[in-house]
């Protein structure tokens, strides 16, 4: 999508900056800018981030400035220290705007995570892209704005950043809270792409929260990867156990779970519970939390 002669909006609405002092028109004058809207629990952003990071590192000496804009989706994502931790874990060393008041989001009239805006040296937005993919074309756009031509930067995402198995992905992102929750079911009648609660849970606007030990969430899915966005209230980390088709996940454990299915909820973020080893087919995932205080927001798949 090409946007003609629309100048990059001001970033003055930022509530804070990470990795940089505030950057305005004076500091960015004459530089090509890539603006990347993200939120720390978004699986689409996590899979896109290796490409943005690689371009920042490879092309900054050619005049590229990458600016991340962290605009929270869930309420707990307003915690600035969680954003700082995410930038360190993802080796993000470019400037990041904290947009907790959504002023920058609204100034760009943005609606998506992730979203890329390509800005030329005169401050004009020349292109935009929403979601994952289009990586080679996006790099060509940047190189054209920088007036250079070379082979694209090689990128390979690892762990949770690895590209989705699109061919076998048949389960959509699924929210659990009252505002956007859908496809809930009885634990005894769990069909593909449906989920169910067992135990003492409270359904809130954006999440379900566990009120007593031993509560569980089951999900019937068809994908290589299964993730769950989790946070917790004040207190100690909360242990959990993942069961896949009635047994330990073994080699199909995600990066946040061991082969026996054990994991620990220690901070608000996206947790990778399953990465299927072998053929992708319908599976049933069940996660049980040993202590109360869990807040579960959304399942995503890859």
DSSP letter string, 187-217? TTS--TT-EEEESSEEE-SS-EEE-STT-EE
Residues sharing a CB contact under 8 Å with residue 94, sequence separation 6 or more, in sequence order: 19, 20, 53, 56, 60, 65, 66, 67, 68
61 pLDDT above the threshold of 90: yes
* Mean pLDDT of all residues belonging to the chain: 96
2 pLDDT above the threshold of 60: no
In whole angstroms, what is the distance from residue 184 CA to residue 200 CA? 16
pLDDT tens digits, one per residue of 226-280: 999 999 987 899 999 999 999 999 999 999 999 999 999 999 999 999 999 999 9
197 pLDDT above the threshold of 70: yes
pLDDT at 233: 80
In whole angstroms, what is the distance from residue 163 CA to residue 47 CA? 6
5 pLDDT above the threshold of 90: no
Q: What percent of the chain has pLDDT over 90?
A: 94
What b/e sequence results for 135-145 when a residue is b if at least 16 CB atoms lie within 10 Å of its CB, and e otherwise?
A: beebbebbbeb
Q: Which domains does the chain have, with CATH numbers?
A: 6-161 (3.40.30.10), 166-301 (2.60.120.260)
pTM for this model (two decimals)? 0.94
1 pLDDT above the threshold of 60: no
pLDDT at 3: 46
Please check whether residue 99 is in contact with residue 14, taking contact to mean a CB–CB distance below 8 angstroms: yes
pLDDT at 82: 96
pLDDT tens digits, one per residue of 131-187: 999 999 999 999 999 999 999 989 999 999 999 999 999 999 999 999 999 999 999
In whole angstroms, what is the distance from residue 131 CA to residue 5 CA? 23
Residues sharing a CB contact under 8 Å with residue 166, sequence separation 6 or more, in sequence order: none
């Amino acid at each position: 999508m090409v946007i003609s002669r629309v100048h990059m909006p001001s970033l003055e609405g930022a509530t804070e900056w990470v990795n940089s002092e505030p950057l305005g028109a004076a500091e960015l004058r004459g530089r090509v800018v890539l603006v990347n809207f993200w939120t720390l629990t978004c699986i689409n952003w996590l899979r896109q981030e290796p490409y943005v990071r690689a371009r920042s590192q490879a092309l900054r000496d050619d005049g590229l400035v990458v600016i991340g804009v962290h605009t929270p989706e869930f309420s707990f994502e307003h915690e600035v220290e969680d954003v700082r931790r995410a930038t360190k874990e993802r080796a993000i060393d470019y400037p990041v705007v904290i947009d907790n008041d959504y002023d920058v989001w609204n100034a760009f009239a943005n609606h998506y995570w992730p979203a890329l805006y390509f800005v030329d040296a005169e401050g004009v937005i020349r292109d935009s892209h929403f979601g994952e993919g289009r990586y080679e074309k996006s790099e060509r756009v940047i190189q054209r704005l920088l007036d250079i031509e070379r082979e694209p930067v090689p990128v390979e995402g690892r762990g949770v950043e690895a590209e989705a198995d699109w061919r076998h992905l048949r389960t959509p992102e699924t929210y659990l809270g009252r505002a956007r929750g859908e496809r809930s079911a009885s634990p005894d009648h769990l069909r593909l792409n449906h989920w169910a609660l067992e135990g003492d849970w409270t359904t809130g606007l954006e999440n379900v929260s566990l009120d007593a030990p031993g509560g569980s969430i089951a999900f019937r899915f068809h994908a290589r990867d299964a993730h769950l966005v989790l946070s917790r209230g004040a207190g100690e980390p909360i242990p959990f156990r993942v069961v896949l088709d009635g047994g330990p996940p073994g080699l199909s454990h995600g990066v946040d779970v061991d082969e026996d299915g054990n994991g620990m909820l220690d901070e608000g973020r996206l947790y990778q519970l399953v990465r299927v080893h072998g053929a992708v087919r319908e599976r049933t995932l069940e996660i049980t939390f040993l202590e109360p205080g869990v807040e579960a927001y959304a399942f995503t798949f890859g």
